[in-house]
């Protein structure tokens, strides 16, 4: 047994996680709970100071869980890259956004590799969790690490394991979500499987880092394409005078061959709006056009405009122009019960309505404020609902009193079907417009 495998078995391996955000911090906690000593490395002084104080800034990581791990010495944080020199296992969990032309931006990964490479020693395991295109680990990351003279598969070990974080999910979290894992060589796979096998409940082994990278993109492309389909169905139903939600609910009763997806104001978050474009970009380099991805992206990115038009039409039907209208948006987080506005469709909806001349405010118990178009917006109290010309439900937070919203508002545009039960009442139904 190699020294590194023995260290992992004995829980003596020192672990460093590069990037302690929505993916990295929950991973730090699970690795520490498994018995390892973990250092979170991040360039954000704010995050480092918070972890050092035992205070969590991630909703899915309670401070009462993180604090004792810090106090016991199992978890620490630093913005000094020299901490990487002490690590036996380095896990990279940095953002991988798209640039303005929707091409992959892997600069955060490469910055992490640049910090790690000169400090990496023999018998180090490196696991990349950041989403990227198939072939990146093999074609880009490994050559950068091998510039040190250390050979992957012999001196150091490299694997890819896509993050599957679902913020706010009450059932599945880092430890109990099956962990896909691909090593760059059989030896790399052996070492990586030993490490994650000590932390996660279930490992799904695939034959290569390329396959593991493709798994992540398939998962989110599947969702993006099906959401795009049902968003287009919603547009069709409106033109046909049909209730979209009634059609989907009836179709969902089929016990085989159908999986319900639901329309909405657009895609949000750090995965579904972004990841399919990594695959599309890669295929373009191979002279292939990923048509489903491109079309789904077109439909999904157009949904905030559909919502804005639906709001304008609803106001028009009540002889009120959107210009000068008072609009309240309910919910700006990208999905229910979380405090994250990244890529949220609500931001586009607000901007489109403001561009049409509406006076827009919002209420969201999870998002006290955010920056939009150079100005700061703050959540307003959920009172005087009758003072707004229309209330637009964009994010369906579970703690919201929608019965009160419908009762007190003049007009409600519901993009999430939260008013389904309320529409049985003719008086309520008369003031509700849905997708």
Q: Is the dihedral of CA 248, 252, 258, 264 positive or negative?
A: positive
List Cα–Cα distances, 188 to 46, 167, 236, in angstroms. 34, 30, 50
CA proximity to 397, closest of 422, 365, 423? 365
What's the mean pLDDT in 182-204? 98
Mean model confidence pLDDT for the chain: 95
Q: What pLDDT band is residue 374 in, cutting at 50, 70 and 90?
A: confident
Residue written as token pair 């896509």: 162
pLDDT tops 90 at residue 6: yes
pLDDT score of 2: 84
Q: What pLDDT band is residue 102 in, cutting at 50, 70 and 90?
A: confident
Query: Three-state SS string across 96-152, please?
Result: CCECCCCCECCHHHHHHHHHHHHHCCCCCEEEECCCCCCCHHHHHHHHHHHCCCCCE
pLDDT tops 90 at residue 352: yes
pLDDT score of 368: 97
What's the mean pLDDT in 289-306? 94
What's the mean pLDDT in 351-380? 96
Indicate the CATH number for domain 214-301. Answer: 1.10.1040.10
Q: How far apart are CA 382 and CA 393, in angstroms?
A: 13
Among residues 93, 188, 237, 271, which one is catalytic?
Answer: 271
pLDDT in tens, 59-92: 999 999 999 999 999 999 999 999 999 999 999 9
pLDDT score of 47: 97
Q: How far apart are CA 363 and CA 383, in angstroms?
A: 10
pLDDT tops 90 at residue 270: no
pLDDT tops 90 at residue 127: yes
Fold of 3-207: Rossmann fold (3.40.50)
CB 409 within 8 A of CB 330: no
pLDDT in tens, 90-101: 999 999 988 767
**What residues contact 142, with CB distance under 8 A and at least 6 apart?**
152, 158, 184
pLDDT score of 274: 85
DSSP conformation letters of 233-273: HHHHHHHHT--HHHHHHHHTT-SSS-------S---SSSTT
pLDDT score of 286: 94
What's the mean pLDDT in 110-132? 97
pLDDT score of 1: 63
Chain Cα centroid distance, residue 298: 20
pLDDT in tens, 39-58: 999 999 999 999 999 999 99
* 3 state DSSP class of 345: helix
Q: What pLDDT band is residue 360 in, cutting at 50, 70 and 90?
A: very high
Residue 271, token pair as written in the block: 């995965």
With residues binned 3-state (H G I as helix, E B as strand, rest as coil), the percentages for the chain, rounded to 5, are 40, 15, 45
Residue 166, token pair as written in the block: 């679902």
235: left (phi over 0), alpha (psi -120 to 50) or beta: alpha
Q: How far apart are CA 350 and CA 137, in angstroms?
A: 39
Residue written as token pair 């869980």: 65
CA angle 215, 221, 224 (to 5 degrees): 150
CB 48 within 8 A of CB 42: yes
Residue written as token pair 């991973």: 27
Q: Indicate the Cα dihedral angle 401, 402, 405, 408, nearest 10°.
A: -90
User: What percentage of the chain exceeds 70 in pLDDT?
Assistant: 100
Domain at 302-435, CATH homologous superfamily: NAD(P)-binding Rossmann-like Domain (3.40.50.720)
Radius of gyration for the chain, computed over Cα atoms and rounded to the nearest angstrom: 24
What's the mean pLDDT in 159-172? 93
Domains 3-207 and 302-435 share a fold: yes
pLDDT score of 168: 87
Q: How far apart are CA 206 and CA 189, in angstroms?
A: 9
pLDDT in tens, 218-227: 999 999 999 9
pLDDT score of 351: 97
Answer yes or no: 237 catalytic: no
- Boundaries of every domain in the chain: 3-207, 214-301, 302-435
**What residues contact 177, with CB distance under 8 A and at least 6 apart?**
164, 166, 200
Helices (DSSP H) in 269-422: which residue ranges? Answer: 275-285, 291-301, 303-316, 345-355, 402-408
Q: What pLDDT band is residue 175 in, cutting at 50, 70 and 90?
A: very high
pLDDT score of 268: 84
Q: Are strands 375-378 and 369-372 parallel, antiparallel or unpaired?
A: antiparallel
């Amino acid at each position: 047994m190699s020294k590194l495998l023995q260290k992992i078995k004995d829980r003596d391996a020192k672990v460093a996680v590069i990037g302690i955000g929505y993916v990295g911090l929950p991973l730090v906690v699970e690795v520490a709970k498994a018995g390892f000593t973990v250092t979170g490395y991040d360039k954000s002084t704010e995050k480092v100071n918070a972890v050092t104080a035992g205070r969590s800034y991630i909703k899915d990581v309670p401070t009462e869980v993180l604090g004792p791990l810090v106090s016991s010495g199992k978890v620490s944080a630093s913005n000094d890259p020299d901490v990487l020199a002490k690590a036996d296992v380095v896990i990279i969990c940095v953002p991988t956004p798209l640039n303005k032309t929707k091409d992959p931006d892997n600069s955060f990964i490469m910055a992490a590799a640049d910090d790690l490479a000169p400090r990496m020693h023999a018998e180090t395991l490196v696991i990349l969790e950041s989403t990227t295109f198939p072939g990146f680990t093999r074609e880009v990351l490994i050559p950068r690490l091998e510039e040190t003279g250390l050979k992957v598969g012999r001196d150091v070990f490299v694997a890819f394991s896509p993050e599957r974080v679902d913020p706010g999910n009450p059932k599945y979290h880092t430890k109990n979500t099956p962990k896909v894992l691909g090593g760059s060589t059989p030896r790399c796979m052996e070492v990586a499987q030993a490490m994650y096998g000590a932390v996660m409940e279930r490992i799904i082994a695939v034959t290569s880092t390329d396959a593991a990278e493709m798994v992540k993109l398939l998962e989110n492309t599947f969702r993006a394409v099906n959401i795009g389909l049902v968003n287009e169905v919603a547009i069709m139903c409106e033109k046909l005078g049909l209730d979209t939600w009634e059609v989907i609910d009836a179709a969902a009763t089929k016990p085989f061959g159908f999986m319900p997806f639901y329309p909405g104001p657009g895609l949000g978050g750090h995965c579904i709006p972004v990841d399919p474009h990594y695959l599309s970009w890669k295929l373009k380099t191979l002279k292939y056009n990923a048509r489903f991805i491109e079309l789904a992206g077109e439909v999904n990115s157009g949904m905030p405009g559909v919502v804005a038009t639906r709001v304008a039409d609803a106001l028009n039907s009540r002889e009120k122009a959107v210009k000068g209208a008072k609009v309240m948006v309910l919910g700006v987080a990208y999905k229910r019960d979380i405090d994250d506005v990244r890529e949220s469709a609500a931001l586009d909806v607000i901007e489109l309505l403001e561009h049409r001349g509406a006076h827009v405010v919002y209420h969201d118990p999870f998002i006290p404020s955010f920056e939009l178009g150079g100005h700061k917006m703050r959540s307003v109290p959920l009172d005087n609902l009758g003072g707004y010309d229309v209330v637009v439900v964009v994010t369906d937070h579970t703690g919201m009193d929608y019965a009160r919203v419908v009762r007190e508002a003049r007009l409600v545009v519901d993009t999430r079907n939260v008013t389904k039960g309320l529409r049985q009442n003719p008086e309520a139904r008369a003031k509700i417009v849905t997708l």
